Structure 1
Amino acid sequence: MTLFVGQACAQTEADNTRISAEQFQEKVDETPGVVIDVRTQEEYNQGHLAMVDDHLDLLNGDFEASLDSLNKEKTYYLYCRTGNRSGQAVELMKENGFKNVYNIGGFQDLVNAGIESSK
């Protein structure tokens, strides 16, 4: 029973930070923030959101190394290829005292929802 409750709490917490492309479009209009692509350089070079503010690769350590230089009071929107790495990055940010962080999912889903991309 305790294990189930723990999993339910973890799921609820994750749900609070994972938002859909449509929710992102609405939320970023209401609460502008910093959009960060956490994919590799190669993935980023193949295309990224036009509104991206920063590219900080989660896999090579760039993302974690940059945490101390980011303003914890700002709102952050993170994405990757599928939403997995951006979910990990959101958790890292939360562990480091960031409160307004959102996993907006995968690049292609965002583009398919009509969010502009560029190369």
Structure 2
Amino acid sequence: MTAGTEVLAAWPPAAVATVVAALGAAALTLTGALAGGVWAAVRWRRDVYREERDRAWTRIVWAVDLVCAEDVGRNEIGRRAFQAVYDMQIARDEDVVFVTIVRELINTEKQRRDRPWER
């Protein structure tokens, strides 16, 4: 019985070339599948982040629209809704700066309206 590379030497060259080509194709397929899986995971995570951000901004804009309403009841509901959105910390990254600025504007405007004698 032969061992090691002597076994491959006994094979015909076409068979060795076929085995090497099959192993190369399998390696390339696995590499492609891995790259595709990573790409799909990255895309999925980006899409989830975008959807979460869209939902957060929908809530924020809805609350600000109510705050800007002429009706006192809607205005108060908007203030409470915006405060709840702010407390939930649904804004992320650079959006936090904008939400904080809007919160300060809303609070300043409410203080002016509630205490007109302090102007």
| TM-score normalised by the chain length of structure 2 | 0.33
- Which structure features the higher share of strand residues? 1
Q: Which structure dedicates a bigger proportion of its chain to helix?
A: 2
